[in-house]
Amino acid sequence: MKQRKLGSGGLQVSAIGLGCMGMSFAYGGGDDAESIRTMHRAVDLGVTFFDTAEVYGPYVNEELVGKALRSVRDKVRIATKFGFRILPHGQGLQRMAGVDSRPEHIREAVTGSLRRLGIETIDLLYQHRPDPSVPVEEVVGVMAELVREGKVRHLGLSEVSAATVRRAHAVHPIAAVQSEYSLWSRDPEQQVLPVCRELGIGFVPYSPLGRGFLTGALTSAEGLAQDDFRRTLPRFQDAAMRNNLVLVQQLRRLADGHGITLAQLALAWLLHQGEDIVPIPGARQLGHLEENCGAAEIQLGAADLAAIDAVFKEGKVHGARYAQGDFDLLEK
């Protein structure tokens, strides 16, 4: 697997990472034994970058990642996140009760993450979502203290505005910004990506396959588990899906022309957007993991990229990323 650098502080990771959220959270079901086999196979394939968060589960995903990667700790880089207030009772998303980046909570969260992961140092620590009640300068100041204490190596932010990136980076170097970015979610191209490149900050797209939609495997929300949160998302409602499936069919013809899968074409397109981009597609099964990793070897020319861009021109995708009121703290 080819390697890429995130930021200027020496964080080197595989060109494609593995997003572990879906193994424990949000998409229904989950098989820990299969997830562990998938993570082990990822290491065999050269994947060195694994992404989790305290809120995934909550907590259980960090435990799963820690259990799977303990024996190969020296070969991998583990990213996790803090920033949500988590209720003591309830299931999954019901336990998320707003944001919390108070300094004391940051320290509590990091202590818990280190314990659950079974590691001494977090390779990349993100603020999961901005907290409007705590200035980002104060948040990053506490994160920087954790770096000096040896509990964290590199710092990141998730779903923040370009202005917040600038303010944070002025306090301590930011290695990576994570946001949703894919063929059907291209907002970062407007402001955040240019600022990251100006400042030498890497970019980590989550949901690079459109929460599975860009694989072509989803044609209706009816096949999703009842607790799969995609059922609540505007883009996965019937009318929007019918319109968006037309785009996927057009993309499939391009993928077929290269003899590759839809997922591989979508990931290859992302990788061609810049050497500072490291997507983290999720995978709960070996076949999907191996398919995704194959995208790192695919070469696309200028004409290929133009044809792909033409399919997903601005305004063609139907439906918002989230329902109104959900995740209002995504900064613009």
Query: Exposed/middle/buried for 302, CB within 10 Å: 0-12, 13-18, 19+?
Result: exposed
Q: What is the DSSP string of 47-64?
A: --EEE--TTTTTTHHHHH
CA distance 298 to 84: 37
CA distance 95 to 1: 37
Token readout for 260 is 């590759």
> How many CB atoms neighbour CB 208 within 10 A?
30
> How many CB atoms neighbour CB 101 within 10 A?
26
Handedness of CA 112, 116, 120, 124 (dihedral sign): negative
Indicate the SS3 state at residue 263.
helix
Indicate the SS3 state at residue 306.
helix
CA distance 235 to 34: 29
Q: Are 86 and 53 in contact (CB under 8 A)?
A: no
| Catalytic positions | 56
Q: Tell me, what amino acid is at 304?
A: D
Please tell me whether the peptide bond between 58 and the residue prior to it is cis, using omega within 30 degrees of 0: yes
Give 317's DSSP letter. Answer: S
Could you give phi then psi for residue 6, rounded to 5 degrees? Answer: -110, 115
Q: Are 168 and 196 in contact (CB under 8 A)?
A: no
Q: Which residues contact 300 (CB under 8 A, 6 or more apart)?
A: 268, 269, 272, 308
Q: Which residues contact 256 (CB under 8 A, 6 or more apart)?
A: none
